[in-house]
Structure 1
Amino acid sequence: MDDEAEERCAEVGEEDTGTSATLEQSGSCNTERRNRKGDGLTQREMMSAVLAVVRVSSGLYLSGMHGVNIVDALECHGITHVLNVARELSDLAYPIPVETRHVALRDAETEHLLPWLPDLVEHVHNVISTGGRICVHCVAGISRSASVCIAYLIRYEGLSLRQAYQQVLNARPVISPNLAFWKALVDYEWQIRSSNSVVLMPFICGMVPELEPYQRYAEMRINLGWMQELLVVWSLHLTLLVIQILATVFGHTDNTRLV
């Protein structure tokens, strides 16, 4: 499929935003996480990116639950297999006959992704190497499914974690694996390449990858944290000052009455 055909496929379903409220309410598509990357997109562009099925690499596609429920999107891309990695979508039905596999992963920082990655990556590779086209999806196509696609690029396309992240980000600008998944991806890169291209830096909000979107997010959290702390301190001092003033006024009034 040529680039022009892929662009036409990517546009399929973008106008149908009927499930946007569901996506907005899901844990995988919260505003805070999207802000790590989405500050360069308009709200409409961001929602279009969330709703689309996108090509990550030859035979590999990425989507949220909306995209895999659009017949035209699946048929246009020639999707033959679907890998569903969302625990909450165990009963999701697809509109065309496709080979499916479901793995119940949670988009949570307590989820242990690393033990799953070798098997999931191998499954994707087996589909692609036999001529199939596989779409990996979760609820919003932002964290769980994006992490699997990144891991595949590291293992079978020889990319570093930094390069793989950038390639998936270019295809789907709203991706943002949670911080625990980043730890898993860093460990996975070390297992495959015996080196790391992304370093996790300690911030007040946790271990954060030293990539620009995450650094901006961490700095924002730090700044907000300091502002909140200062607000508490200022409020405390203001309260004490008011109490002191009132005590002085009422004390002076009582002394006047005694005189």
Structure 2
Amino acid sequence: MLVLFCFFFLQVLPDLYLGNFKDARDREQLARNNITHILSIHDTAAPILQEMTYLCIPAADLPTQNLTQHFKESIMFMHESRLKGEGCLVHCLAGVSRSVTLVVAYIMTVTGLGWQDALAAVRAVRPCAGPNMGFQKQLEEFQNTQAQEFRDWLRMEYKECPFDDEEHIRNLLAQSAATNGTANGEVLTHRRSFDT
């Protein structure tokens, strides 16, 4: 089995970063990226740095762990920090499975992309991203049953969205496709309608 290690947190969307437990303690890197909010999801998630605003979700990296129940609060936390122009770091222990699942759910909500394309966009900047099979099934179920409802809720709750996240994601996917030699038309295969 090939294991890809990611040593630094990376920007997935403007003001939204994905990383690991070590990144969440790196004050210099956090300050350099204007990160004021940390979403921590792992077995013993708890606030670490006094100056940060936290959302801590205790959750195991097991296929049977229900992460869907945390999607709404996670999406709100990420979105509100971005609306303030403040950076948000989402992390678990390795920055591979739990945190990636929450970021993929957020991308699905703000862009209308399906889970596979949202995950491909995350992998374009963080190649080690790999939610476990149970989390992948939860993302697929979210796509099929709740994603549109969450998009509608986000639009009603926060009105106009100042971000062009869909364009940002399309650029990430196009860059990844160019690097990997994939034709542009093969990239966005699981698009869901964002328009009402």
Q: Please say whether Structure 1 and Structure 2 have the same fold, judged by a TM-score greater than 0.5.
A: yes
Q: Contact (CA 8 Å) 1:150, 1:164: kept in 2 or not?
A: yes
For 1:98-135, what per-residue CA distance to the aligned partner results, in whole angstroms no more than 9, with x for missing partners? 11121111111120111221221122112212222100
Indicate which of 124, 140, 149 corresponds to 2:78. 124
Higher relative helix content: 1
Aligned-pair CA distance for 1:147: 0.5
Stretches of structure 2 lacking an aligned partner (at least 5 in a row): 150-196
**DSSP-derived class of the 2:35 partner:** coil
- Whether 1:65 and 2:39 are equivalent positions in the alignment is no
For 1:184-217, what per-residue CA distance to the aligned partner results, in whole angstroms no more than 9, with x for missing partners? 10011112249xxxxxxxxxxxxxxxxxxxxxxx
Indicate which of 104, 109, 124 corresponds to 1:170. 124
- Whether 1:192 and 2:163 are equivalent positions in the alignment is no
Stretches of structure 1 lacking an aligned partner (at least 5 in a row): 1-31, 39-45, 195-259
In structure 1, what is the Cα distance between the partners aligned to 2:127 and 2:31? Answer: 23
Q: Contact (CA 8 Å) 1:114, 1:187: kept in 2 or not?
A: no
- Whether 1:56 and 2:23 are equivalent positions in the alignment is no
> TM-score, normalized by length of structure 1?
0.54
Aligned-pair CA distance for 1:159: 2.0
Structure 1 stretch displaced more, 114-123 or 160-169:
114-123
Q: Contact (CA 8 Å) 2:71, 2:102: kept in 1 or not?
A: yes
* Structure showing greater Rg: 1
In structure 2, what is the Cα distance between the partners aligned to 1:58 and 1:158? Answer: 17
Q: Contact (CA 8 Å) 2:97, 2:131: kept in 1 or not?
A: yes
In structure 1, what is the Cα distance between the partners aligned to 2:67 and 2:106? Answer: 14
Q: Contact (CA 8 Å) 1:87, 1:106: kept in 2 or not?
A: yes
Indicate which of 24, 36, 53 corresponds to 1:80. 36
For 1:155-181, what per-residue CA distance to the aligned partner results, in whole angstroms no more than 9, with x for missing partners? 012222122101111111101101110
Higher relative contact order (CA 8 A, sep 6+): 2
Q: Contact (CA 8 Å) 2:45, 2:57: kept in 1 or not?
A: no
In the TM superposition, structure 1's runs of 4+ consecutive aligned residues that sit over 3 Å from their partners are none
**DSSP-derived class of the 2:130 partner:** coil
- Whether 1:179 and 2:123 are equivalent positions in the alignment is no
AA in 1 matched with 2:93: V
Aligned twin of 1:158: 112
**DSSP-derived class of the 1:169 partner:** helix
In structure 1, what is the Cα distance between the partners aligned to 2:72 and 2:138? Answer: 11
- The percentage of counterpart residues that share the same residue type is 24
**DSSP-derived class of the 2:38 partner:** strand
Q: Contact (CA 8 Å) 1:89, 1:139: kept in 2 or not?
A: no
> TM-score, normalized by length of structure 2?
0.70
Q: 1:2-17 maps to which residues of 2 (within 5 A)?
A: none
AA in 2 matched with 1:152: Y
Q: Once superposed, what is the RMSD of the aligned Cα atoms?
A: 1.7
In structure 1, what is the Cα distance between the partners aligned to 2:86 and 2:31? Answer: 13
In structure 1, what is the Cα distance between the partners aligned to 2:81 and 2:98? Answer: 19
AA in 1 matched with 2:123: L
In structure 2, what is the Cα distance between the partners aligned to 1:89 and 1:155? Answer: 24
- Whether 1:134 and 2:88 are equivalent positions in the alignment is yes
AA in 1 matched with 2:15: G
Q: How many residue pairs were aligned?
A: 148
